[in-house]
Structure 1
């Protein structure tokens, strides 16, 4: 924050807790009881690490007492156990009188600041599994390998779905056409995939390979971002060094739209919009129109609204828009950064206005972590169970390649559970498009006395989903709110209660409110 920022100190009400800010902080939510601070204008955590910290964020905090804080621009905030302090370019107003609920706060903020658009991403993004080529062929997809990947899924009795062709399907970054050396007849490939029942998404970033023909064209037209010296900015990202499209320039945005529309005419159904993280842009850059890093990230997301098949891993604001938001790539780990982060971070996504969420690729999307051999099969199954009743479900590692018969059957059972609940998921997606309400919700969203329960979630208002996230666990603890709830095992529980429920490998515990 700059030196002209103003501080607003807000006294916390008794037992008041808060959600919001950054999705990556979901495992630390709700805030208030313990010291915590962050700055939404930067990508770094307090320790200066984890560049993905602000991959999805919004200038919103909502409280369990019905209050909320919103700024149109990024702000810094901190909790000390008694106060919430907000540092912004102007004095901040706290909305609400403190005599309400978390749901009251969220709906008021949504209505006033990011009203729902009335649209969802393409329904196939929910109705079908998603398959991403990333883990099976990182940086080296080919036409034949993509077709073989689709056939392998079908041969393993996996349903056709939304197939994402990931990094390096094009000859250069910015040259958004299929590489003829590896995709000799992309139109025929797309025809075959469509005939098999797949929709096809391709990956892209707002980067341009230096010295490519496209780079020379765009630099001559003034469409590349300039650094503080006025030279074309060259940035290091996870796959090398590239120039950056100046997303503040309407002509640059129109240029990328033209490339994407041409791919749609070829037969591509949509796009995985990667990159445009806050750290891709610098405060002293010289964009054609003055914009912050957050603004640039928002401009990238705004392009995606034009394409019903879309996916984002980085986003600023854009609450209420029909954008599919996947969590950042996760390690294949039984800890709070791996499988333990999925539920809290998806809940956090919903509470900043992003209802159309997806956990990371099943088994973990960190390419160096989700190994091609020696996959932890139990971990893979438990990950699939979390995804099964999330709004969207995405595979990358082919289950039939890494799982034995018992574990593969457990994954198929998770898919069957999703099929059973699919009408509910689709109804909730439509409801989110009209009201902004998350599809999956914190327990506290409907039950204020359960404000710290974040390892289970509500699918809508009447279904508790309590996946097992502990290695070798045979049971897990579930918090049941007031009312009568029938488990998938037939047990009826009168709440409020805390129970231990069995978690055999093939069970995804869930409880339906009776009446």
Structure 2
């Protein structure tokens, strides 16, 4: 939110009380308490002016948190994000001679100038380099009388809306990334970004997945620990700062430092929660009925037969909204007119080797048989007068399940469990963005404004835990649209409603890469686009991109996405792409396990993998799929694509090599322009890399070891450890292969194991 008019003037009706001085401080164990106030010329300046209390802590090594509080008397009903904290690593030194407070946590330090009227916060790396901080007039309390609560006749008691404002410095050339799944430019500089979950599609500044965490190209990240609306002006108000504001009386943020971007994600996910893993079968192709299309058992069976006839592997079939009767979403009952024998039909689908997913949302329409039950038992969000909150925007007279009510959770779970008994393996947890704020109350008394974003976390957590209680840890997964910080523990998430255009395909990629800079390791898009019907060229290009995403789902709105509708050549492209993804299963499982351990996503913005190559920070049309494969989707009908090949770094020698033609190589640090037919695209193999593949796999859950191959590009520098993950338990390693260059520098040795090695490159 902008409060100023340029550098000198405030907006009419706004007053900012800037903190300029440390009045006093005290230390307590590993915590520093500071009392901040305005410019102090004499003792009279302590009267009729506010103070801000600051608390400095370190919940994890390399992470320093600062909490600013104006008034501490407000009742805090939450909710709060869960943070993992450990003690014993912070070191505090206050030099009273130089008036410097030094707070250290591993490689990160915070220096506070405690001299009179010289307030200054500086976060520094281990070598003393400034990362960010609070310079002149950057910590303040805002009193805004531009509110309908303000009445001039109340005089000195007239109410004002309060905001806490923290402005963090940006350096020359510094870029900012992340802040959830945002579909505009990958670098957020110059943007106003509000953390407020909304159903806005993928072509606006609204987002389904707002994560108040950003990563800087300068070597740090910032997490704002506030579950309500957070507004960020990223060089869009002060061109040298990120201005962060929240309504109310307190704000808390954490600066996260690391040796490189991956290390920042490692520390951030240690704080907010490690990403969970998913079962191997989920990496196969998903097919849905699409949204408003007419379908019944015969339609679905025809699609499945078509896939089988064309030898296109298919792993999951998803029933979208209209598996239930209209106006009754959600009642968790198959529409008997379309599916007269739902139990028998699901059994027949399972006999085909398919997993089953069904669409749900956290709303109950008034026509649903469950509405009266939920109303009677108090399972819905209520108005303050205890009546059920309802509206017609989506489902007529719909109510919203109150997941702060344990009884409502048990009730909701019982219906999920009944569907799992029928054979359902996964749930698409749609919506959870349209959550009311004004004039409502929750069962546990939570603050409605802070619950707006947090609600998605409750919803996904409850469904995910219900699934995993049945099938076991890391064996269940969702297909979720909305989320909040910590939601990486409840995968998978997809990008929401995109149009069927090349531009929407590109914005979907930007959104996914942005989210995956916030601790999420899995992501998918609606292949072919959701709104509209894709032309064949777009369909094929999105198939190529979508089958090199962590998860791959064919889904649309008013038209089906089975390939032969768009031409049999589309079937050929889809078959080739899904078979390529299946043979990559050992590589995907290994990379996902690394992400589970340290927060590194499967799909990576180039700078995440190549932080020393400064050219990578501006690129948002290509990505790394794991650590070894560079992917440059084709965003044009004529097949022309321009892409950048990074400098491999880390002592790697040799050239990048084309996946499709091993005789074709690329120099790092160069741009290339190529034209590709629909049987190829730029997929490049990193020099000095070892990529486990298995061409014998028919499905991702097949035996990992039989038919295993190692694709080795160029000369290996030192020893490479390849972990072969158990497809039946994706957090377990079957074997660790030690791969090294031969004794003469030409051959490849695999320590103690018979594995076919395919050497490419030089």
TM-score (norm: length of structure 2): 0.61
Q: How does 1:255-404 map to 2 (within 5 A)?
A: 255-277=411-433, 279-289=434-444, 290-291=446-447, 292-306=451-465, 307=467, 308-335=476-503, 338-360=504-526, 362-366=527-531, 369-370=532-533, 375-396=534-555, 397-404=560-567
Secondary structure, in 3 states, of the residue corresponding to 2:184?
A: helix
Q: 1:434-453 CA deviation, whole Å, 9 max, x = no partner?
A: 22210111001021211111
- Distance (whole Å) between structure 1 residues aligned to residue 340 and residue 570 of structure 2: 37
Partner of residue 60, structure 1: 213
Please say if 1:31 is aligned against 2:188. yes
- Distance (whole Å) between structure 1 residues aligned to residue 305 and residue 393 of structure 2: 33
- Distance (whole Å) between structure 2 residues aligned to residue 22 and residue 229 of structure 1: 35
RMSD over equivalenced CA pairs, Å: 2.4
Tell which deviates more after alignment, 222-231 or 64-73. 222-231
Partner of residue 9, structure 1: 167
Q: Is the 8 A contact 1:19 1:30 kept in 2?
A: yes
Secondary structure, in 3 states, of the residue corresponding to 2:408?
A: helix
Please say if 1:142 is aligned against 2:302. no
Secondary structure, in 3 states, of the residue corresponding to 1:27?
A: coil
Q: Is the 8 A contact 1:141 1:165 kept in 2?
A: no
Q: Is the 8 A contact 1:441 1:460 kept in 2?
A: yes
Q: Is the 8 A contact 1:40 1:59 kept in 2?
A: yes
Q: How does 1:439-450 map to 2 (within 5 A)?
A: 439-448=602-611, 449=614, 450=616
Quote the offset at 1:218 in angstroms: 0.9
Q: Is the 8 A contact 2:277 2:596 kept in 1?
A: yes
- Distance (whole Å) between structure 2 residues aligned to residue 240 and residue 476 of structure 1: 48
- Distance (whole Å) between structure 2 residues aligned to residue 155 and residue 192 of structure 1: 18
Q: Is the 8 A contact 1:464 1:512 kept in 2?
A: yes
Please say if 1:204 is aligned against 2:360. yes
Structure-2 change in CA distance of 1:269 and 1:55 (3 Å): same
- Distance (whole Å) between structure 1 residues aligned to residue 293 and residue 492 of structure 2: 23
Q: Is the 8 A contact 1:20 1:352 kept in 2?
A: yes
Secondary structure, in 3 states, of the residue corresponding to 1:305?
A: helix
Partner of residue 497, structure 1: 670
- Distance (whole Å) between structure 2 residues aligned to residue 235 and residue 462 of structure 1: 50
Number of residue-to-residue matches in the alignment: 494
Tell which deviates more after alignment, 158-167 or 141-150. 141-150
Q: Is the 8 A contact 2:232 2:242 kept in 1?
A: yes
Q: Is the 8 A contact 1:9 1:85 kept in 2?
A: yes
Q: Is the 8 A contact 2:272 2:486 kept in 1?
A: no
- Distance (whole Å) between structure 2 residues aligned to residue 342 and residue 425 of structure 1: 21
Quote the offset at 1:317 in angstroms: 2.0
- Distance (whole Å) between structure 2 residues aligned to residue 391 and residue 406 of structure 1: 24
Gaps of 5+ in 1: none
- Distance (whole Å) between structure 2 residues aligned to residue 411 and residue 334 of structure 1: 18
Match of 1:468 among 617, 625, 634: 634
Q: 1:457-494 CA deviation, whole Å, 9 max, x = no partner?
A: 01122211111012223343334334531122332222
Match of 1:69 among 216, 222, 227: 222
Quote the offset at 1:420 in angstroms: 3.2
Secondary structure, in 3 states, of the residue corresponding to 1:297?
A: helix
Query: Relative CO higher for 1 or 2, CA cutoff 8 Å, sep ≥ 6?
Result: 1
User: Larger C-alpha radius of gyration, 1 or 2?
Assistant: 2
- Distance (whole Å) between structure 1 residues aligned to residue 395 and residue 635 of structure 2: 32
Please say if 1:82 is aligned against 2:240. yes
Partner of residue 412, structure 1: 575
Q: Is the 8 A contact 2:380 2:389 kept in 1?
A: yes
Structure-2 change in CA distance of 1:71 and 1:477 (3 Å): closer
Secondary structure, in 3 states, of the residue corresponding to 2:630?
A: strand
Q: Is the 8 A contact 1:131 1:164 kept in 2?
A: yes
Quote the offset at 1:139 in angstroms: 5.8
Please say if 1:251 is aligned against 2:416. no
Structure-2 change in CA distance of 1:343 and 1:481 (3 Å): farther
Structure-2 change in CA distance of 1:93 and 1:315 (3 Å): closer
Secondary structure, in 3 states, of the residue corresponding to 1:192?
A: helix
Please say if 1:429 is aligned against 2:592. yes
Quote the offset at 1:203 in angstroms: 0.8
Q: Is the 8 A contact 2:521 2:595 kept in 1?
A: yes
- Distance (whole Å) between structure 1 residues aligned to residue 362 and residue 256 of structure 2: 39
Higher fraction of strand = 2
Partner of residue 682, structure 2: 509
Q: 1:281-330 CA deviation, whole Å, 9 max, x = no partner?
A: 22432222214211212111112322213210111223431411011121
Secondary structure, in 3 states, of the residue corresponding to 1:416?
A: helix
Partner of residue 657, structure 2: 486
Q: 1:25-58 CA deviation, whole Å, 9 max, x = no partner?
A: 24322223xx21122135388xx99789231121
- Distance (whole Å) between structure 2 residues aligned to residue 146 and residue 239 of structure 1: 25
Higher fraction of helix = 1
- Distance (whole Å) between structure 1 residues aligned to residue 561 and residue 305 of structure 2: 11
Quote the offset at 1:211 in angstroms: 4.3
- Distance (whole Å) between structure 1 residues aligned to residue 346 and residue 321 of structure 2: 17
Q: Is the 8 A contact 1:8 1:92 kept in 2?
A: no
TM-score (norm: length of structure 1): 0.89
Structure-2 change in CA distance of 1:325 and 1:52 (3 Å): farther
Quote the offset at 1:275 in angstroms: 1.3
Please say if 1:453 is aligned against 2:619. yes
Secondary structure, in 3 states, of the residue corresponding to 1:294?
A: helix
